[in-house]
Amino acid sequence: MISNLIHEKKYTYIEKGDGPVILLLHGLFGALSNFKDVIDHFSKDHKVVIPLLPIYTLPLFNTNVKSIARFVDRFIEHKKYKKVNIIGNSLGGHVGLVYTLKNPDKVNTLILTGSSGLYENAMGGTFPRREDYNYIKEKVGYTFYDPNTATKELVDEVYGIVNDKSKLIRILALAKSAIRHNMGKDLEKFKLPVCLIWGKNDTVTPPQVAEEFHYLLPKSDLYWIDKCGHAAMMEQPIEFNNILDAWLKQNHNAVITL
């Protein structure tokens, strides 16, 4: 996956396939390689794009959810995409919500999985024993129903991030920004189709968060995946892909009425 990265001006991203654009927005610790199954599945009849979000490179005073959403806006303008279907996981879902609220005419459908924006038990909230590898392994495993989903590669990556002072400060800033920026009062404004795919065993954004999103979003469908934690597209990719595939086919002619 890393070999497929495209470096273009100030953007780094993956782009595969052709057709309607699916823009995938990752979370705080969302390595692009985590989404190989989603890319392989949907790139058969979509253009799947995953930009590397500037989580660790923004000025500290500007490291917040709204700034990341503005980056997404600039990226979409740079790529000249007229309409996108956004998939957002965790912080990426929150960013997708902020972007869609500001640019409803540019988003055809919105797919949220384990999204922040209402409530989260932030994985990035604190790391009191960040130099303890086993502690980090346990904390990463906490995001999944099956802790073994947390590969050594993923644990190593998170361990490296939280032990880099510059990156850690930005992780904490973004986590606090996401908690402060509650979108509950804005969700009634979303008139486009929204698909909610949630792990029944999500401990970061628990099931009641999905239910509240479903209640507050005017045109939402909620799907559950059993034995699944915070990153459904990683932990149960086949079921995630099947649910989303069927939902996109039902909504491919969706018209935004905002």
pLDDT given at position 195: 98
3-state secondary structure the chain: CHHHCEEECCEEEEEECCCCEEEEECCCCCCHHHHHHHHHHHCCCCEEEEECCCCCCCCHHHCCHHHHHHHHHHHHHHHCCCCEEEEEECHHHHHHHHHHHHCHHHEEEEEEECCCCCCCCCCCCCCCCCCCHHHHHHHHHCCCCCHHHCCHHHHHHHHHHHCCHHHHHHHHHHHHHHHHCCCHHHHHHCCCCEEEEEECCCCCCCHHHHHHHHHHCCCEEEEEECCCCCCHHHHCHHHHHHHHHHHHHHCCCCCCCC
Give the total number of structural domains in the chain: 1
Torsion of CA 208, 213, 214, 219, to 10 degrees: 180
Does 70 map to a domain?
Answer: yes
pLDDT given at position 255: 41
Does 20 map to a domain?
Answer: yes
Does 78 map to a domain?
Answer: yes
Does 144 map to a domain?
Answer: no
Does 27 map to a domain?
Answer: yes
User: pLDDT in tens for each of the 258 residues of the chain?
Assistant: 445 889 998 999 999 999 999 999 998 876 677 788 999 999 999 999 999 999 999 898 889 999 999 999 999 999 999 999 999 999 999 999 999 999 999 999 999 999 999 987 655 555 667 788 998 998 889 899 999 888 898 899 999 998 999 998 998 888 888 888 999 999 999 999 999 999 999 999 999 999 999 999 999 999 999 999 999 999 999 999 999 999 999 986 554 332
Does 136 map to a domain?
Answer: no
- The domain that contains 235 carries what CATH number? 3.40.50.1820
Does 15 map to a domain?
Answer: yes
pLDDT given at position 122: 58
The whole model's pTM is what?
A: 0.92
pLDDT given at position 82: 94
- For 52, the domain range is 2-119+182-250
- How many Å apart are CA 33 and CA 85, to the nearest integer? 20
CA distances from 250 to 112, 135, 195, 216, 230 (A): 17, 43, 11, 21, 25
